Amino acid sequence: MDALRQGLRGVAAYFRGVMGADAYQKYLEHHEACGHGMPPMTERQFWRDRMDRQDTEPQGRCC
């Protein structure tokens, strides 16, 4: 049962990764790792910034 739950959790985490849902977490990790003085963006700020940057740097999608 535990193994099953762990497996499901793994699948969910994988999906989150593929969809890019864990982007903020990764940003925080990076921010922490390079340890500069400024506080990190809040989650709301981060997503706003991420979307707005896509306005000027569009990512292609294939046929």
Residues within the interface to other proteins (CB under 8 A): 12, 14-21, 23-24, 26-31, 33-36, 43-44, 46-63
Query: Which CB, 2 or 55, lies closer to other proteins?
Result: 55
What residues have CB less than 8 Å from 28, skipping those under 6 apart? 40
Q: Nearest approach, Cβ of 42 to other proteins (angstroms)? A: 9
Query: Which CB, 1 or 59, lies closer to other proteins?
Result: 59
Give the integer Cα–Cα distance in Å for 34 and 5.
34
Are 53 and 27 in contact, with CB atoms under 8 Å apart?
no
